[in-house]
Structure 1
Amino acid sequence: MRKIPYLHIILFIVTFLTTLTAGALQKGVNIFREPGRIIEGLPFAGTLMTILLCHELSHYIASKKHHTKATLPYFIPAPSIIGTFGAFIKMKSPIITRKALIDIGASGPIAGFIVSVIACIVGLSMSEIAPLSNTEGALSLGDSILFSFLSNVILGVAPDNHDIFLHPVAFAGWIGLFVTSLNLIPVGQLDGGHIAFAILGERHKYLSRALVIVLAILGILYWEGWALWAVLMLILGIKHPPVLYWEVPLDSKRRSIGIFTFIIFVITFIPSPFKFLP
């Protein structure tokens, strides 16, 4: 008889509540005075949780397909502006081949990317352009190549002294794209690291070392978070463990998937993701 995954369920519920709270706070709701209005955070929470769930379940399904033992997703609640530190699954057995490595590594980012793009399109259609004077002290989000393109197509180019006031669904979509780019950085055992190692083999370690240096430089020039991310990569390890049967070759489909995920990384990466408007 299979055990009920109580911990996974509890973490999912708590994370849903913290993202629901974050979504309500973004709309100016005082949940202590008007707790019933917490439901106003549902568009943000529902969208973000769907993105994270699709990402992690895609990893889980791909792992099962390749007979790799993996846990169900662990969601991480957090008292932050978005209410979560994300989610992850834990591999409990080695990944056997390079094909499996690419399938498992790429499945999550591709699924999360697709849902995030849909959320951005829907959310931007409900967003509006507002004068900067109305957004003083607000959090300003950087634009990736893709998000800038979607914004220009859906809302047009914002005139001088104006900016886009994102609908909560669009904000969740923006976070989804940002998380996708973070996961696709080809360092260590990130999703991008899995894909890069499957293609490059032992040469991947040189790419990892170079990118950690690049992240540290970006942390100095653009956003301090990149420097923290570089330190985290060093702590977690930038070397990827070997697969069991390296000699099994990659087919053209898997190489194409690798190229596709690299393109996703390029068009979703944001050198300066966050800043507060003066």
Structure 2
Amino acid sequence: MSPDLYISSGILELYVAGVLSPAEMEEVTAMAAKHDRIREEIQRIEETHLQYAASHAPAGLSRHFFDDILTKIDELPEEVPQPQTKSKAVNKEREKPQPAPKTIKLKDDNSRREGRRSPARFYMVIAASLILFALSALLNLYLYQQWQSTQNDLVALQSENTAISQQYNQVKLEKDKAFSEFAIYGNPDYKRVKLSGLPIASQSEAMIYWNKNTQDVFLQVMNLPQAPAGKQYQLWAIDETDKPVDAGMLASLDNNISPMKKIGSAKAFAITLEPTGGSQNPTMEAMYVMGNI
């Protein structure tokens, strides 16, 4: 999976929130070690969460705690010594130290309160961060589950599309085959030569369709015994000089019409059983069918 696709899945947010399984945590750690882009994105998510938590603490929750703290602060006796001052414009008598009041109230209540509320603010930021982390984790978990569901749907659609494509190709193949056979059956230029079974296999039968003008040869097997292991049927054309000419190997024994090698001259056709791959000359004692033109 590419780094960009991995980042967009939402799993990095769950990793930062710490809600993934140990195996998933190890996977993300491995991806971060492998890809700088993923490692930088994890750092960015962590920084974003901290900044957001510091600047968006829940208002209602912080006001409740802050008001309670400030009320308790106001009830405490606040006393500090008042500093002594001197003036250059007064005479020596006034320069004598004046008795200072024992205590005074702080003039800057806001400064006093800020000093008192610092610990509370720290804990509030931590609490807000945890809340935001939890909400972010839940949201990212939901998005991650949606992404996983979308991926599963995509795989199912791809499988369905593949099945439909295979069915279409099969139908097209059968249609093309039917048109080809019809073109052969209905073409008067094709001469039909029936190959009948010989004593070695009297029930065997095949049909040759030969177009002398184009030299095209098609074979349709009606009945032939299954070839034993290491053997294969071979078609032969017997020319005008009684010389056998290789017309091709039989790929299958089904009832389909199969194209064979082109033959320019022939007075007969025959099929023999040869070693797999064929022979240069036919094995006469292994001839199964033959037919004259």
Same fold (TM over 0.5): no
Q: Whose helix proportion is higher, 1 or 2?
A: 1
TM-score by length of 2: 0.19
Higher RCO (C-alpha 8 Å, min separation 6): 1
Larger strand fraction of residues: 2
